[in-house]
Chain A
Amino acid sequence: MLRYANPTRFMQLSGALLPWFAGASIALLAAGLYLGFTAPPDYQQGDTVRVMFIHVPAAWTAMMAYGLMAVASLVGLVWRHPLADVAAKSAAPLGAVFTALGLITGSLWGRPMWGAWWVWDGRLTSFLLLLFLYLGYMALWNAIEDETRAARAAAILALVGAVNLPIIEFSVDWWTTLHQGESILRSGGPLISTVFLLPLFAMALGYTFLFFTLWMIRIRTEILVRRARSLMLTGEA
């Protein structure tokens, strides 16, 4: 992995991968949406069950984004690779958007199913806190002018967050109410029938590829911005 810490090599690799990732995400999202709309209505939830196909993958992707951001922060902090800093920085806004998407779609799903836009349930509350963690991370990054300092401060914050997330999750689960428990990755097999699982996994993969596509674009843009800035600085000197 460290071989690709070289920005030039990363630009080559990501440039070659980008069209494939973008294509995969479009194909998977299209297939997932098609399967999602042709799946039979749920016997209890009716057509609203289709919200699941855009809600659950958004939540998964949001958590994956935090994990990747924390790993990139750790790599940046330990090995001092600027590329890892850039990767962590670029993951945060994407993670925040997926978190917000999960919260909004969940709210739209909760209204017909639970009869409320929002309930102070463990899962919902911890996700709202995740959004605040992302916002705090981005705010800290933007507030410090020196780029390497900002990167290291934000990395420390991301790692403290990574330690704390399970605790927050656990503590808010203290008052469990409406959100259902784990129904897919459980011992004894998933509780959801295959007609729903298939579009769900297609959408989950599609979201994942979408995230990686956008992530690579953001990293590439950041590298180009930094190159342009250093070119301008050397041009003036």
Chain B
Amino acid sequence: MSALLLRDIRLSTRAGGSAMLALAFFAAVATLVPLGVGADLRLLARIAAGVLWVAAVLAALLALDRLFQADFEDGSLDVIALSPLSLETTSFAKIVAHWLTTGLPLTILSPLLAVLFGLPASATLTLLISLLIGTPAVSAIGAIGAALTLSIRRGGLILPLIVLPFLSPAVIFGAGAVVAVLDGLSNGALVFLAAFSFAACVLSPFATAAAVRLNLGS
């Protein structure tokens, strides 16, 4: 499993990999928003968490459609499926690799962008925590969509449509936790986000493996 994990991480961080692209996409989307809504820092601080969360989800989706498709096309997915590892374990490894190469870098970059949005330090910390515990859910749920669409040649367009509705709880709780801090309220959004993320990470490998299996026709 660790070999597979390392292989996936190497593939996405080397030249032509999706990790850096997703990161750059995240920064570019976040930069476009102030250009669109104006440079009022009070307004930007208010919407920062929502914008960064939406940008993070979109950036993670960008890297998702190659999660299984590249391996499917060059045949290595068949080899992986024949290995003694169960497909559930394989799926989990792929989810972890995807998170380590997109979710985690996005989380680390987010405080920098939060500064550009004029978000106060306490709220920035909450944003960092919410992205840290929320982005695994994005990788996990996204993996189900990636596995379902792996044999579709133009799956890149269907994937966001089927995955985005499922990610709405992550965005609501993640951005909601930050807004609550801005308003000086306490709420349980982070706890719910953690529960959602945990459930998604535990259940997703099974659905993902079932989807891979049916696409391999075994």
Contact = CB atoms under 8 A, between A and B. Distances in A.
Contacts of B176: 174-175
**Interface residue tally on B, bucketed by range:** 20 to 34
Interface in A141-192: 143-144, 149, 152-153, 156-157, 159-161, 163-164, 167-168, 170-172, 174-175
Interface stretch (A32-40, A83-91, A131-139): A131-139
Nearest to A169: B169
Interface stretch (B87-95, B107-115, B150-158): B150-158
Given A156-B207, A163-B203, A168-B168, A140 B151 contact: no
A129 interface: yes
Contacts of A136: 158, 161-162, 165
B3 interface: no
B148 interface: yes
Interface of B: 144, 148-149, 151-152, 154-155, 158, 161-162, 164-166, 168-169, 172-173, 176, 189, 192, 196, 203, 207, 210-211, 214-215, 217
A129 B165 contact: yes
Interface string A110-140: 0000000000000001000100110111011
B148 A171 contact: no
Given A140-B158, A143-B149, A149-B214, A171 B165 contact: no
A79 to B, nearest CB: 15
- Of A135, A143, A161, A170, chain B has the most CB atoms within 10 Å of the CB of A143
A157 B172 contact: no
Contacts of B211: 153, 156
A17 to B, nearest CB: 33
A156 B212 CA distance: 11
B62 to A, nearest CB: 18
The 10 closest A-B pairs by CB, nearest first: A136-B162, A171-B169, A129-B165, A152-B214, A132-B165, A136-B161, A143-B152, A171-B172, A153-B148, A139-B158
A193 B155 CA distance: 51
B162 A139 contact: yes
A29 to B, nearest CB: 31
A116 to B, nearest CB: 21
Given A149-B214, A157-B162, A143 B154 contact: yes
A164 to B, nearest CB: 5
A15 B210 CA distance: 36
B148 A157 contact: yes
B161 A135 contact: yes
Contacts of A135: 161
Given A136-B162, A143-B158, A172-B168, A153 B214 contact: yes
B44 to A, nearest CB: 20
A112 B163 CA distance: 35
B50 to A, nearest CB: 12
A165 to B, nearest CB: 9
B207 A149 contact: no
A174 B172 contact: yes
Nearest to B153: A143
11 contacts: A139-B158, A144-B152, A152-B214, A153-B215, A156-B214, A157-B162, A160-B166, A171-B168, A171-B172, A171-B196, A175-B172
B166 A171 contact: no
Contact of A140 (B154, B162, B165, B173): B162
- Of A132, A153, A170, A174, chain B has the most CB atoms within 10 Å of the CB of A153
Contacts of B215: 149, 153
Nearest to B144: A160
A111 B186 CA distance: 34
Contacts of B172: 171-172, 174-175
Contacts of B155: 143
A168 B169 contact: yes
Nearest to B145: A157
A149 B211 CA distance: 10
A175 B172 CA distance: 9
B149 A140 contact: yes
Given A133-B165, A136-B161, A139-B158, A171 B173 contact: yes
Interface in A173-217: 174-175
